[in-house]
Amino acid sequence: MIVLDIASVVLLAAGALFVVSGGVGLLRFPDFYTRVHAAGITDSAGAGLILLGLLLRTPSWETGVRLLVIMLFLALTGPTASYVLAFAARRDGVPIWREGDPRR
Amino acid sequence: MIVAVMAALLVTMVLALARAFVGPGRYNRILAINMFGTKTVLFVAVAGFLFGRPEFLDIGILYALVNFVAVVAVLRLTHYDDDLADDLADDLADDLADEPATDGEDRA
Amino acid sequence: MTVFTLINISLLAILVATALTVSRLRALYEAAMLSALFSLVTACLFVLLDAVDVAFTEAAVGVGISTVLLLGGLALTRSREAVTPRRRRLPGAAVAILAGGTLVYASQDLPAFGSADSPVQRHPLTDTYLHQSQEDIGIPNTVTSVLASYRGLDTLGELLVVFTAGVAVLALLGPLAHPVDARRRDDLDLVDYRVLRVISAMLMPFILLFALYVLFHGDFGPGGGFQAGVIFAAGFVLYGLVFGLDKAQQVVPRVVLWALIPFGLLLYLGVGVVNMLLGGSFLDYDTLSSDPAAGQHLGILLVESAIGITVAAVMTTVFFSFANRRATR
């Protein structure tokens, strides 16, 4: 049991780290396309690790199944939303940031 | 540990909120709001474990679903509508000259 | 200060900041998106208050459907708020401050948060609902027992409101509207986005399955007819948005949708009338079976399905009516 607890703590800590760093990135990166990367990290790595960490401490199998369903859902919709957003922004002509440009 | 994860989520929510408030433009806001939505999914899941009520997870599934539908709707329904560049210029003009422009439009 | 209080305070701060920003923004699309965010935070607060059924509804309606409908409405009009002259802002500010002040003043009369001797806790009816319902009806989720059985007539009234809203939208935008106004909008699909198409097609069965789960699991956990109906509608809306309205209307023809709107309401009324014919009073499900508890189960199931059918049909119809029109700017 103690092994599971430690693994869960490690996973949760890693997930929290990814989530916060993605949040900071969303605020500090210079343009829309770079920010997509920051937001994407929190949806995939952050959410995945936190849900895995929770999975290791589930009281019953029903809860575990629900966690897995959420994980599957986020794993499918997160990257799709990021891709579609970036695609639409490109099509609408949102400019790409280059070294030396002002932040926007 | 779960409390720490909760704190991290709340901090990230505030950061995403700041991006949603600042913008600039539609896409930055959609991105921030989409990220905020997935953070609320995690929030509900973590809150369920923190307060010992794992049946909250049903709600998490629903949030993940409606969040996706909302993002698709935003993209679809705003896409052809008006020019993003116009919008950005508009935003800028608003920020620069809020009050004087207001009165001018009123007289016209 | 406990963790619980801290989380509540941070969520409240986020809520206030969002509300202020929404009122400041003049770009209406952005304001609509932020109001979806507002609903998400409200729903989180409901979750923390253990009001899981309310949180379910708030998320499904506030984020899923009302955002889509707001955006659909905005697509038909201007998407920028007109500027209010400064002189005319004063009365508005006065009204807002007065109303807010009254609410804050009135809130002092509320019992303390989590107080055990509030009127709600001490009223004998609470005990009846919480304990007697387990023997009368035998459903773990008391909210469902109260909503569908004890207060079945009130819920019928709510369904009538939804029905009226659907009929009103149909009268304004549907087949009865002026034919010139009801032109088709040319381009309404996201066919360029292949990934989105594939993923949405993959998700559709799960969404509908989840809606059914919410409908039938409402007896045991959060959920029920209203929420399931909205999830069904969200699924159809997603399909319509991604594959185009024509495709969506091939799957669910409009006539079928229009027929389903009154069907749910009639089913609900029909259950009540059958109860009367069997010798009970209106919506007294005990008469449906020789065993009263089994009768209650059957009645609640029928009524919840009726709610789900009408809500899903109304929401989908409203969306299709909006999306079928061309912007008239």
Is the pLDDT confidence value at A27 over 70? yes
Minimal-distance CA residue of chain C relative to B4: C3
Of chain C, the percentage scoring pLDDT greater than 90 comes to: 22
Is the pLDDT confidence value at B99 over 50? no
Query: What does pLDDT average to over chain C?
Result: 84
At what angle are helices B57-79 and A61-91 packed, to 10 degrees?
10
d(CA C213, CA C301): 13
Residue C79 confidence (pLDDT): 72
- Arithmetic mean of pLDDT, C251-280: 89
Minimal-distance CA residue of chain C relative to B3: C3
Amino acid at B25: G
| CB-nearest partner of C52 from B56, B69, B87 | B56
Query: What does pLDDT average to over chain B?
Result: 75
**pLDDT band per the 50, 70, 90 thresholds, residue B107:** very low
Q: Does the residue A97 lie in any domain? A: no
Q: Which residues of B touch C234 (CB under 8 A)?
A: 65-66, 69
The answer to whether the CB atoms of A76 and C195 lie below 8 A apart is: no
End-to-end CA distance of chain A: 49
In 3D space, the residue among C29, C23, C22 whose CA is nearest the CA of residue B28 turns out to be C29
d(CA A99, CA A101): 6
Q: What burial class does residue B18 get, using C-beta atoms within 10 Å of its C-beta: 0-12 exposed, 13-18 middle, 19+ buried?
A: middle
- Arithmetic mean of pLDDT, C160-167: 92
pLDDT tens-digit readout, C210-227: 999 989 888 887 888 889
At what angle are helices B25-50 and B84-96 packed, to 10 degrees?
80
The answer, yes or no, to whether the previous bond of B24 is cis (omega within 30 of 0) is yes
Chain A: touching chains (3 or more CB pairs < 8 Å): B, C
| CB-nearest partner of B61 from A57, A66, A84 | A66
Interface of A with B in 45-74 (CB under 8 A): 46-47, 50-51, 53-54, 57-60, 63, 66-67, 69-70, 73-74
d(CA B16, CA B39): 9
Contact predicate A69/B60, CB 8 Å: no
- Arithmetic mean of pLDDT, C299-319: 91
Total Cβ atoms within 10 A of residue C227: 28
Is the pLDDT confidence value at B79 over 70? no
Does residue A80 sit at the C interface (CB-CB below 8 Å)? Answer: yes
Total Cβ atoms within 10 A of residue C180: 6
d(CA B93, CA C187): 31
Q: By mean pLDDT, which of A22-36, C115-129, C197-211, C268-282 is the weakest?
A: C115-129
d(CA C231, CA C321): 18
* Number of domains observed in the structure of chain A: 1
**pLDDT band per the 50, 70, 90 thresholds, residue C170:** confident
Does residue B78 sit at the A interface (CB-CB below 8 Å)? Answer: no
Q: Domain extents for chain B?
A: 2-97
Q: Which residues of A touch B89 (CB under 8 A)?
A: none
* Polymer length of chain B: 108
| CA-angle at C276, arms to C275 and C278, nearest 5° | 65
Chain B: touching chains (3 or more CB pairs < 8 Å): A, C
d(CA B60, CA B40): 8
- Arithmetic mean of pLDDT, A2-11: 89
Is the pLDDT confidence value at A101 over 50? yes
At what angle are helices A47-55 and A2-28 packed, to 10 degrees?
160
Q: Which residues of C touch A74 (CB under 8 A)?
A: none
Please provide the CATH number assigned to the domain covering B2-97. 1.10.287
The answer to whether the CB atoms of C3 and B68 lie below 8 A apart is: no
Q: Does the residue A34 lie in any domain? A: yes
Q: Write out the residue range of the structural domain in which residue A50 sits.
A: 2-91
* Polymer length of chain A: 104
**Between C309 and C148, where is the model more confident?**
C309
CA separation, residue C176 to residues A35, C170, C262 (Å):
47, 7, 17
The answer to whether the CB atoms of A76 and C196 lie below 8 A apart is: no
- Arithmetic mean of pLDDT, A57-86: 88
Q: A14: which 2 tokens?
A: 């890693």
Contact predicate C18/C41, CB 8 Å: yes
Tell me which of C52, C56, C197, C203 to substitute to probe the interface with A (most A C-beta atoms closer than 10 Å). C203
**Between B10 and C120, where is the model more confident?**
B10
- Arithmetic mean of pLDDT, C55-84: 82
* Polymer length of chain C: 329
**Between C241 and B80, where is the model more confident?**
C241
Residue C190 confidence (pLDDT): 58
Q: C91: which 2 tokens?
A: 């009365």
Q: Which residues of B touch A85 (CB under 8 A)?
A: 27, 30-31, 34, 71, 75
| CB-nearest partner of A74 from B12, B19, B38 | B38
Q: C101: which 2 tokens?
A: 């002040």
Is the pLDDT confidence value at B91 over 80? no
Total Cβ atoms within 10 A of residue B85: 13
d(CA C239, CA C30): 23
**pLDDT band per the 50, 70, 90 thresholds, residue C182:** very low
**DSSP 3-state percent helix, strand, coil across chain B (nearest 5):** 90, 0, 10
Q: C87: which 2 tokens?
A: 């002189």
**pLDDT band per the 50, 70, 90 thresholds, residue A95:** confident
Residue C282 confidence (pLDDT): 85
Amino acid at C109: D
Q: Which residues of A touch C193 (CB under 8 A)?
A: 84, 87
In 3D space, the residue among C211, C149, B4, B68 whose CA is nearest the CA of residue A80 turns out to be B68
Residue C178 confidence (pLDDT): 52
**Residue in this structure with the two tokens 């909120």, named with its chain if needed:** B17
Of chain A, the percentage scoring pLDDT greater than 70 comes to: 98
**pLDDT band per the 50, 70, 90 thresholds, residue C3:** confident
Contact predicate B77/C71, CB 8 Å: yes
Q: What burial class does residue C70 get, using C-beta atoms within 10 Å of its C-beta: 0-12 exposed, 13-18 middle, 19+ buried?
A: buried
Residue B103 confidence (pLDDT): 39
Q: What burial class does residue C104 get, using C-beta atoms within 10 Å of its C-beta: 0-12 exposed, 13-18 middle, 19+ buried?
A: exposed
B38-59 core/surface letters (b: 16 or more CB in 10 A; e: else) = bbbbbbbbbbbbbbeebebbbb
The answer to whether the CB atoms of B46 and A50 lie below 8 A apart is: yes
| CB-nearest partner of A42 from B12, B18, B85 | B12
CB pairs below 8 Å between A and C: how many? 17
d(CA C178, CA C159): 28
Of chain B, the percentage scoring pLDDT greater than 90 comes to: 14
Q: By mean pLDDT, which of B2-11, B95-104, C27-36, C310-319 is the weakest?
A: B95-104
Is the pLDDT confidence value at C147 over 90? no
| CB-nearest partner of B12 from A20, A54, A81 | A20
Q: Which residues of A touch C196 (CB under 8 A)?
A: 80, 83-84
Q: Domain extents for chain C?
A: 142-329
Residue C175 confidence (pLDDT): 67
CA neighbours within 13 Å on the CB side: how many for B40?
Answer: 34
Residue C177 confidence (pLDDT): 58
Residue C183 confidence (pLDDT): 46
d(CA C181, CA C195): 34
Q: Which residues of C touch A83 (CB under 8 A)?
A: 195-196
d(CA B21, CA B3): 27
| CB-nearest partner of A47 from B30, B38, B65 | B38
The answer to whether the CB atoms of A76 and C202 lie below 8 A apart is: yes
| CB-nearest partner of C242 from B50, B70, B72 | B72
**pLDDT band per the 50, 70, 90 thresholds, residue C176:** low
Residue C263 confidence (pLDDT): 93
**pLDDT band per the 50, 70, 90 thresholds, residue B83:** very low
Tell me which of A28, A41, A70, A85 to substitute to probe the interface with B (most B C-beta atoms closer than 10 Å). A70
d(CA C37, CA B32): 10
Q: What is the largest CA-CA distance in chain A?
A: 54
d(CA A12, CA A4): 12
- Arithmetic mean of pLDDT, C43-65: 87
Is the pLDDT confidence value at C163 over 90? yes
Does residue A10 sit at the B interface (CB-CB below 8 Å)? Answer: no
Tell me which of C14, C190, C193 to substitute to probe the interface with A (most A C-beta atoms closer than 10 Å). C193
Does residue B5 sit at the C interface (CB-CB below 8 Å)? Answer: no
CA separation, residue C231 to residues A13, B34, B61, B65, C57 (Å):
34, 19, 11, 9, 10
Is the pLDDT confidence value at C41 over 80? yes
Residue B92 confidence (pLDDT): 54
d(CA B61, CA B58): 5
Q: What burial class does residue C96 get, using C-beta atoms within 10 Å of its C-beta: 0-12 exposed, 13-18 middle, 19+ buried?
A: exposed
Q: Does the residue A104 lie in any domain? A: no
The residues, any chain, with a CB within 8 Å of residue C60's CB and separated by 6 or more, are B62, B66, C226, C227, C230, C231, C234
Is the pLDDT confidence value at B98 over 60? no
- Arithmetic mean of pLDDT, C195-202: 88
Is the pLDDT confidence value at C196 over 90? no
In 3D space, the residue among B30, B69, B70 whose CA is nearest the CA of residue C203 turns out to be B69
Tell me which of A80, A82, A83, A91 to substitute to probe the interface with C (most C C-beta atoms closer than 10 Å). A80
